[in-house]
Chain A
């Protein structure tokens, strides 16, 4: 069964149809790309999947469950993790703490356990800390893990965001323009990282402007334009689709 299945999702802001009848499915273990010109509705779709927006019509199934109007933290708990287009880290906390916060949904310590500092809490805390440092090493953060998030470089912040999302042990990792603002080497490293994440069994949904990155990385790609899905398929197919070419380059005069 497909991991994620959207059926006829619609979302409007006032008179603007940000999304119109978008249906797509993502299979387990694939890297699925979402591309489209600026304002095509990619991030809106992301926000619907992660519970930040409630769709006006349609519904989606994730991992066999149907969702309508679910809160972000519920979806995170059920296995959808995301990063943000304009990085949203916990700026005044350390890199390690940022990732440990990602473990929140997978840990249980409550108020009493925390105050008493019971054996169970201590063990959980240690496991959480170890897992967080492991993830930071995995995404390749070279700086000390006690560095404040705001003192990391742009590329490092992007990596930290991915580590934080991975800490929630997602089934589906949704990356919103992870390569934005990165140089060629950083993009290459990112590509390797995303492949490694997929190899560890996590399905990846990727929004990206860098068409080259998408084409080299994704198993399948969907193209949005003006809130509608205009094409879907393997990268080579999509690249030669006349509708996609006209959306990106304008309609040919002939």
Chain B
């Protein structure tokens, strides 16, 4: 019993340390690397949320989705339209100043809307698996992007390729996150405030993922991933659970997109290209499909890597050759492809797969003991 108590204490201590580190992180990044990097970390948090959402669809339920960014787009446009002057153009009588709703109204709505889109995508693809499913989802992602690109005529809903700008910054209880605020005697610049907001939502997404993973629902998803026929013979309603996976994953994407629009203040279809879907999928695969911490690692790595290159490649080449021979963007794709090949060859389950941990656990856990 004492042992169990110690374990609980150690776990609690670990958690407190982790939270403290995360709370202090923006100050450390700000002091050591500069504010620009903190902004990049903020974006990385959004990517982590996206990757965790996709992890439900791909990692747990085993449904390969190449159009996942569409749900991010749905969330982003949802906030862009309901918190900017833009709708005044399409409906000048109805909304003379545009619509300016609070993020807390938009968040649940966009989560629901994105989830609904997830079901819409899932329903016709229920019988498809693997590469066939990937192609349909890829098409879906492109359809959403093209819609955003072309819905500026006859009624200007999305402002087409120019995108929607002047989106209201997120404000909580009247405190705008877009300006430096003094809270409890701390001076918190805008990027810090957004960091804490995103931290909260990322934490929420991790929490929900974790609880689902270890539940009856999570097990059913994994059963479908492992063998759909056996799963249905064991009494799992594969149709409903696949739709649920699509909806949950999409809802996370929608939440992330909403926060993205508020943070960036501008959305355009360009941000939701196929490449972005591929990027998020790579975060999941590279990090460790079906493993929450692996996916977080993958998201962090792939979100930070291009910035790291941008800051290192040009200066290094300038110093060596006096001019820039390879631009960081193309080097990024090269390194990226290389990294993927290496991971697939040497760590096919991802950089940080879940099974390792579980096998470690199994050695000191008695079979009959319940956690």
20 of the cross-chain contacts (CB-CB < 8 Å) are A52-B233, A71-B237, A73-B236, A89-B226, A89-B230, A90-B231, A93-B219, A102-B234, A102-B235, A114-B211, A115-B211, A115-B212, A116-B211, A121-B215, A124-B216, A125-B216, A144-B362, A146-B358, A146-B365, A147-B362
> Which B residues touch A136, using CB under 8 A?
367
| 6 interchain residue pairs of minimum CB distance | A105-B235, A114-B215, A76-B235, A146-B362, A145-B367, A90-B226
Chain A count of residues within 8 A CB distance of the other chain: 52
Q: Any chain B CB within 8 A of the CB of A203?
A: no
Among B206-222, those with CB < 8 Å from A are 207-208, 211-212, 215-220, 222
Decide: B220 and A101 in contact? CB cutoff 8 A: yes
Bound Cα distance from A208 to B271, whole angstroms: 59
A-side interface residues toward B, CB under 8 Å? 50-52, 71-73, 76-77, 81-82, 84, 88-94, 96-97, 100-105, 107, 109-111, 113-117, 121, 124-126, 128-130, 133, 136, 144-148, 164-165, 168
Bound Cα distance from A239 to B237, whole angstroms: 41
> Which B residues touch A126, using CB under 8 A?
370
Chain B count of residues within 8 A CB distance of the other chain: 35
Bound Cα distance from A155 to B230, whole angstroms: 18
Interface centre among B208, B234, B359 (most CB of A within 10 A): B234
> Which B residues touch A164, using CB under 8 A?
234
Q: Any chain A CB within 8 A of the CB of B31?
A: no
Decide: A77 and B233 in contact? CB cutoff 8 A: no
Q: Any chain A CB within 8 A of the CB of B368?
A: yes
Decide: A114 and B230 in contact? CB cutoff 8 A: no
> Which B residues touch A82, using CB under 8 A?
233
Q: Any chain A CB within 8 A of the CB of B296?
A: no
Query: Would A77 and B218 be within 8 Å (CB), given that A89-B227, A114-B212, A144-B367 are in contact?
Result: no
Q: Is the interface of B mostly helix, strand, loop or mixed?
A: helix
> Which B residues touch A50, using CB under 8 A?
233
Decide: B370 and A130 in contact? CB cutoff 8 A: yes
> Which A residues touch B227, using CB under 8 A?
88-91
Bound Cα distance from A168 to B229, whole angstroms: 16
| B219 nearest CB across to chain A (Å) | 5
| B222 nearest CB across to chain A (Å) | 6
> Which A residues touch B14, using CB under 8 A?
none
B218 nearest in chain A by CB position: A114
Decide: B362 and A101 in contact? CB cutoff 8 A: no
Among B349-371, those with CB < 8 Å from A are 355, 358-359, 361-362, 365, 367-368, 370
> Which A residues touch B368, using CB under 8 A?
133, 145
> Which A residues touch B212, using CB under 8 A?
111, 114-115
> Which A residues touch B222, using CB under 8 A?
90, 92-93, 97, 101
| B291 nearest CB across to chain A (Å) | 12
Bound Cα distance from A148 to B358, whole angstroms: 10
Q: Any chain A CB within 8 A of the CB of B223?
A: yes
> Which A residues touch B226, using CB under 8 A?
89-93
